[in-house]
Structure 1
Amino acid sequence: MSTVEAPAKARAKIKERTLRRDNWRVYPITTLVAFTAWVAYATVRAFWGSAFYVPEYHYLTPFYSPCVNEICGEAAEFGTFLPASTRGWIPFAAVSLPFLLLFRLTCYYYRKAYYRSYWASPPACAVAEPHKRYTGERRFPLIGQNLHRYFWLAAVVISLINTWDVIRAFRGEDGGFGVGLGTLILLVNLILLWAYTLSCHSCRHIVGGRLKHFSKHPVRYWMWQQVSRMNQRHGQYALITLGSLVVTDLYIALVASGTISDLRIFN
């Protein structure tokens, strides 16, 4: 009795780059423009070296926290080690900015964003990429993406420092308790930054990972559920915090430079 072998299944040969009919180019193009604009603004402000602090109300922009340059003055809550001569070529927040940058660069959402927008790898789902081969995140430099969980720990520490900055911003003109528009802007930005940090996949794993039985760990299970709910909006928090950082920094810069006055709500 003879058997008939099924014909070998070969991959379909499609000449078109993609069969998608929607405007798939919108996401990578808009992301490219938005990210480039944000990076340009953040870079200029990080090296600006002025209009970053309002001593009357202790408004310190997150781009300069913690401030470790001799010029920081009263804003240097945690000491200084950068001489004034480094102004203009080393950011005043040289301690935090590298870790925050690495935390965002290795974030799952940002990987998707710049892989598609800057590297076109791929530019969209079901769209052929221009690269001939893909080695994944197994070789330098992309193997560094695996350090994201450690950068997350650094981001938590920096978020605690930002929390202290906001607490200090509840200051009135006489040195007592006070609330201004700048205080509220800093507070909202802090809440959004914490939401972005705590909704991270690494946080979700740290809270509920390596557990065989959730029933034996009810507290960690509850925490894992809360982080999982936040994790669904992690990409939204990633984008929103870019905007909140710019708004916060711009407002403090305008007040610190004397362009506008802080709107005081109490004292």
Structure 2
Amino acid sequence: MSAPARPNSGVRSPARAAISARTLRTDRWWLPPLLTTLGLATFVVYATVRSFVRSAYWVDQYHYLTPFYSPCISDSCVPGSSHLGTWVGALPMWIPLGFLVLPFLLGFRLTCYYYRKAYYRSIWLAPPACAVAEPHGSYTGETRLPLIVQNAHRYFFYVALIVSVVNTYDAVMAFHGSSGGFGFGLGNIVITVNVILLWAYTLSCHSCRHVTGGRLKHFSAHPLRYRLWTWVSTLNTRHMQLAWTTLATLMITDFYIMLVASGTISDLRFVN
């Protein structure tokens, strides 16, 4: 006698309660996914437009460079904005001037553990909320294209570290006065705060936590790495907040530099 077939365990399987309603929840469970979608869409639209317009991204008087164009290594970059020199010739308009790092930063954010949860639930609806059935009939996890690319997150992390160093260099170069030498203005505060928060977001990454102490079996034998692991773990508890905060500070930094570069406002100067 053959063993009875195991019943399916899906939400709509015969073994589950036959409830026609999508959910019995009466609260506004759809609000968090909606707000997440709107927040991500706002950043994507703003960053895409600003990355391609090629205007008001450099303030030559104070050496302010927006992070969306850093590093600017093309002959198409306005004079002075290429802190690291020009490595390539002029680029067509369909290639953003920040092409060197933008794909890697996009990959770092897309494969981030928090962002996966955010857009899986809000955009892919897998699931949109607790006790709310997802509309998909099957799920293969991160074992096939395109989701198998999520496993490359650790490699994007290494590139993000290099980009953070470049952003730090840009922030240092921005302490430039209108008449040369040292200068300090409101723009320096905006740029520096953004860089600090970007470092915090990058170092709070789950991959960074694994790199610092994930493979250790005996913390007592590696006191320095254990200390680093505890610091990263503390940051890691704020990874979600930093993920959203840095999206905001990136837009604020770019928007402020755009206003100053276009002559819409003047930078508030404290020194030179």
Q: TM-score range by the shorter chain?
A: over 0.9
Distance 1:190 1:85 in 2: 27
**Residue 114 (1) aligns with residue 114 (2):** no
**Aligned residue number for residue 167 of structure 2:** 162
What whole-Å deviation, never above 9, does each CA across 1:24-75 have from its counterpart, x for those lacking one?
A: 1011111111211211111000001110001111100000000122132211
**Residue 74 (1) aligns with residue 64 (2):** no
Match of 1:54 among 48, 55, 59: 59
Q: Does the aligned pair in 1 maintain the 2:91–2:97 contact within 8 Å?
A: no
Distance 1:244 1:175 in 2: 27
Match of 1:256 among 258, 261, 272: 261
Match of 2:207 among 199, 202, 205: 202
Q: CA deviation at 1:18?
A: 2.3
Q: Does the aligned pair in 2 maintain the 1:68–1:94 contact within 8 Å?
A: no
Aligned AA for 2:161? V
- 32-41 vs 95-104, which moves further: 32-41
**Residue 140 (1) aligns with residue 159 (2):** no
**Aligned residue number for residue 84 of structure 1:** 90
What whole-Å deviation, never above 9, does each CA across 1:153-200 have from its counterpart, x for those lacking one?
A: 000000000000000011112211111100110000001100100000
Match of 1:222 among 223, 227, 241: 227
**Aligned residue number for residue 179 of structure 2:** 174
Distance 1:33 1:261 in 2: 31
- 46-55 vs 77-86, which moves further: 77-86
Aligned AA for 2:188? T
- Residues 217 and 85 (structure 1 numbering): CA distance in 2 closer, same or farther, change over 3 Å? closer
Q: RMSD of the TM alignment (CA)?
A: 1.5
Aligned AA for 2:230? Q
Q: CA deviation at 1:82?
A: 4.3
**Aligned residue number for residue 3 of structure 1:** none
SS of residue in 2 equivalent to 1:230: helix
Report the identity percentage.
60
TM-score norm. by structure 1 comes to 0.93
SS of residue in 2 equivalent to 1:265: strand
Name structure 2 gaps, 5 residues minimum.
Answer: 1-6, 10-14
Distance 1:12 1:160 in 2: 55
TM-score norm. by structure 2 comes to 0.91
Aligned length: 259
- Residues 227 and 85 (structure 1 numbering): CA distance in 2 closer, same or farther, change over 3 Å? closer
**Aligned residue number for residue 43 of structure 1:** 48
Q: Does the aligned pair in 2 maintain the 1:192–1:241 contact within 8 Å?
A: yes
Q: CA deviation at 1:80?
A: 2.4
